[in-house]
Structure formats: structure tokens, C-alpha cells
Amino acid sequence: NAGVTQTPKFQVLKTGQSMTLQCAQDMNHNSMYWYRQDPGMGLRLIYYSASEGTTDKGEVPNGYNVSRLNKREFSLRLESAAPSQTSVYFCASRDRGLMGNVLTFGAGSRLTVL
């Protein structure tokens, strides 16, 4: 029972490079989320998917795209990385709609953009 699994755990990119963060959950949850965590700030929502086949923008979507590949997997793509995207990224899932129950988080992916 792994919960929420994110890969990679660490990544260093040069400005302008692209990459995809992968996230998978094995709890049969409907909703999945991508957050970023920066020093001195609360987690901020980038994109979310309320159910398979749907995605919506969160608070800070600029510079990112997402794909809800199936019920288990939700990926986050940076098409042209910028230093401002240096952050720790967390994927999370929740089982009842948008608000029901608590979020289960992955271990995080630390991204550095040079």
C-alpha cells in the first residue's frame, strides 16, 4: 500500500528545459492535486483534477500543464522551466469529491532550475 508515489524526488534543470513530474496513487481516489511549496509560504495549488478526464487551474497555473492519464495517474509538465519554478512539488489525492476527507500527499519532488 504505497499511497501517493511521486517521481523523481530530485531534479536539476537549466532554464528553458522541459520535464514531467509523475504522480500515481493506489487508493482509488477520484481527486488529484499538484501543489508547490516555497519557503515561508503555504502550499499553493497549481492544478487539480476532480475526476478522471477533467483538469482545472488552481492558484498558480502559469508555466505548467497537467494530464490526468487515468484514475491513478496525474502528471505535471514544465514546458520551458524558469528559475521562479524552483520549488518543492507535492502531488496529493482525496477520495470524496473536492472537499470530502483529507488529502494524502506524496513525499515531494525537489526541483531546481538554474
Partner 1 sequence: KNQVEQSPQSLIILEGKNCTLQCNYTVSPFSNLRWYKQDTGRGPVSLTIMTFSENTKSNGRYTATLDADTKQSSLHITASQLSDSASYICVVSDTGGFKTIFGAGTRLFVKA
Q: Tell whether residue 8 is a contact of partner 1 (CB under 8 A).
A: no
Q: Show the cell assigned to 104.
A: 494524502
Stretch that binds partner 1, among 21-29, 66-74, 79-87, 102-110 (CB under 8 A): 102-110
Shorter beta-carbon distance to partner 1: residue 17 or 108 = 108
- Other beta carbons within 10 angstroms of residue 15's beta carbon come to 11
* E strands present in the chain: 4-7, 10-13, 19-25, 31-37, 44-49, 56-57, 64-68, 74-78, 87-94, 104-105, 109-113
Shorter beta-carbon distance to partner 1: residue 4 or 13 = 4
Tell me which residues in 29-68 interact with partner 1 (CB under 8 A).
35, 40-45
Contacts to partner 1 by CB under 8 A: 4, 35, 40-45, 90, 92, 97-99, 102-103, 105-108
